[in-house]
Amino acid sequence: MKKLFLNVAIAIAFICFIYAFFFAYQNDVERRFYKSQLAISDSINSQAMLNLNNEVIRSLGQKVIDIQYYVDAGQKNLDMWLKLLAFILSLLIGYSIFNGFRMKERAKEELADIRRIKEEIKTSAGFAETRLEVVKRQIEQIEEAAIKAKGIEKELRQKLEDFSNKEDLALTATQKKSLEETIEKAKEELQKSGIDAIKNLYLAKAFQAQNENHFEDLIRLTNTYIDLDDSNYVAFSLRGYAYTKLDVKQGKNDLFLKAIKDLTESIRLNPSYYVAFVNRSYAYIELKKYNEAIADADEAIRLNPNSYLSFTNRGYAKVELKKLPEAIADLNEAIRLNPSHYLAFVNKSYAYIELKKYNEAIADATVAIRLNPTYYKSYNNRGYGYFELKKYPEAIADLDEAIRLNPKYIKAHYNRSRAYEKIGKLTEAKQDKDEALRLSAEELKNA
């Protein structure tokens, strides 16, 4: 399309040049003819007055004929060039029409491709729904098998305990050995009948719960898996991650301690599993143990240099330790690895606030809001930047949004109280300050 426009522009420029040239030519011919007529008229008048002979008059007449010839020739040339110009215009119009039809055909082909892709998507979606139903039925059947299997094992162990309480110790020992053999055979049968498949399905459902942010379900599923197999590092890592994400009113610190315990076990089972180090560094951050968080992030980066979450965690911990240039370097690396990771922008805006670079803080917070409009800390950071630049209405608007998204966010209440004070709304300022104090006391109580 751009090439077509360029060609048309060049053609129009050429046509304008030709038109201007021949217009100037025609004017020049007319001008010379007019001058010649004046000269002839003057000569004739002079001849009459001076009574010149006929030869001079004849000569002047021949000049008139010559001039008329040149005028006619110029008119013919002009007509010829105008016809050529019309021919060029016809070619351009024809080319434009042809190109239009060609683009129309191409658009039809692309529309047909889009329709075909839509049909394929519909077919794939139908197939996926069918497969999902099949998988759900399989999960239900396997869960029933797992319950039965656990029931068999429990029953056999109960019999073993009953026999162990017999007074006849010799007979008890014999029966005990027999029952132990029976239990081992039952376990083998369970393995053959798909106990591994059961574990894998529980793990798959755990990953699904993680992706859907159903953290209570994630803990329940990983509990069941760990009951079946306590040697899987992924299960411990998933459960540790879930503990860090639970939204509870009381005992938040206890949950982070549980998380660290599970993640430490995951690392013990597999010291090369960088995800456990990433999640444990986050738990340490929540407990304000920033040096430990940096150590875990260092190890995660060593194991996987492309882990943007590791750089984000380490950057945030360094902000809290006032290592601001290093923090910004880490957060820039996180953004390079994942330009859509809004938390890196949020943390970098926080670092710029600490450096008193408020315009940069506002810019990064704005990007974070664009990437995730529901994260309250982005609005708080931008509101704080506006406050420091004395843009109090903008600051209050952002802090309003931060509080709307998280009414229990203490920093937003405190920052808004300061903004209200600056514009003379002292009643609103006092209300926000009182609310910040109340929430702080509640947080200390529930820690």
pLDDT at position 416: 95
Q: How confident is the model at residue 277 (pLDDT cuts 50, 70, 90)?
A: very high
> Mean pLDDT across the stretch 213-218?
88
Average pLDDT of every residue of the chain? 77
Residue 78 has pLDDT above 90, yes or no: no
Residue 343 has pLDDT above 90, yes or no: yes
Query: 339 or 250: whose pLDDT is higher?
Result: 339
Based on the fold, state whether residues 17 and 115 are members of the same structural domain: yes
> Mean pLDDT across the stretch 208-213?
82
> Mean pLDDT across the stretch 427-433?
93
Q: Domain of 264?
A: 196-384
How is residue 180 written in tokens? 């132990």
First vs last Cα of the chain: how many Å apart? Answer: 64
In a domain, 173, yes or no: no
Based on the fold, state whether residues 206 and 123 are members of the same structural domain: no
| Range picked from 10-14, 136-140, 212-216 for highest mean pLDDT | 212-216
Based on the fold, state whether residues 212 and 124 are members of the same structural domain: no
> Mean pLDDT across the stretch 407-427?
94
In a domain, 171, yes or no: no
Tell me the C-alpha to C-alpha distance, in Å, between residue 89 and each of 22, 92, 100, 305, 425: 17, 5, 16, 63, 72
pLDDT digits (tens, 9 = 90+) for 3-51: 555 565 666 666 656 655 555 555 555 555 545 554 545 554 454 444 4
Tell me the C-alpha to C-alpha distance, in Å, between residue 183 and each of 23, 68, 175: 110, 127, 12
Nearby residues of 306 by Cβ (< 8 Å), 6 or more positions away: 337
pLDDT at position 146: 58
In a domain, 318, yes or no: yes
Q: What is the CATH number of the domain that holds 243?
A: 1.25.40.10
Residue 433 has pLDDT above 60, yes or no: yes
In a domain, 405, yes or no: no
* Integer Cα distance of 267 and 272 in angstroms: 7
Based on the fold, state whether residues 218 and 121 are members of the same structural domain: no
* Integer Cα distance of 186 and 280 in angstroms: 38
pTM check: above 0.75:
no
Based on the fold, state whether residues 40 and 121 are members of the same structural domain: yes
Based on the fold, state whether residues 260 and 351 are members of the same structural domain: yes
pLDDT digits (tens, 9 = 90+) for 156-183: 556 545 544 444 444 456 655 665 666 5
Query: 171 or 94: whose pLDDT is higher?
Result: 94
pLDDT digits (tens, 9 = 90+) for 313-325: 999 999 999 999 9
In a domain, 436, yes or no: no
- Taking each helix axis from N to C end, the angle separating 410-422 and 376-388, rounded to the nearest 10 degrees, works out to 30
pLDDT at position 269: 96
Nearby residues of 265 by Cβ (< 8 Å), 6 or more positions away: 233, 236
> Mean pLDDT across the stretch 259-278?
95
pLDDT at position 79: 65
Based on the fold, state whether residues 121 and 203 are members of the same structural domain: no
Q: Of 128, 161, 183, at which residue does a domain stop?
A: 128
For residues 430 and 235, is the Cβ–Cβ distance under 8 A? no
Query: How many structural domains does the chain have?
Result: 2
Nearby residues of 89 by Cβ (< 8 Å), 6 or more positions away: 15
pLDDT at position 169: 40
pLDDT at position 60: 58
pLDDT at position 205: 82
pLDDT at position 266: 95
Query: 425 or 208: whose pLDDT is higher?
Result: 425
In a domain, 159, yes or no: no
Query: 254 or 308: whose pLDDT is higher?
Result: 308
101-105, 140-144, 428-432: least confidently modelled range: 140-144
The CB-based long-range contact list for 37-43 (8 Å cut-off, 24+ gap) reads 37/67, 40/64
In a domain, 424, yes or no: no
Based on the fold, state whether residues 234 and 315 are members of the same structural domain: yes
Amino acid at 431: Q
pLDDT at position 171: 44
pLDDT at position 377: 95
Based on the fold, state whether residues 120 and 203 are members of the same structural domain: no
pLDDT at position 393: 95
Based on the fold, state whether residues 213 and 120 are members of the same structural domain: no
Q: Of 95, 128, 161, at which residue does a domain stop?
A: 128
In a domain, 428, yes or no: no
Q: Of 384, 409, 441, at which residue does a domain stop?
A: 384
> Mean pLDDT across the stretch 257-272?
95
pLDDT at position 368: 96
> Mean pLDDT across the stretch 333-340?
95
Based on the fold, state whether residues 100 and 212 are members of the same structural domain: no
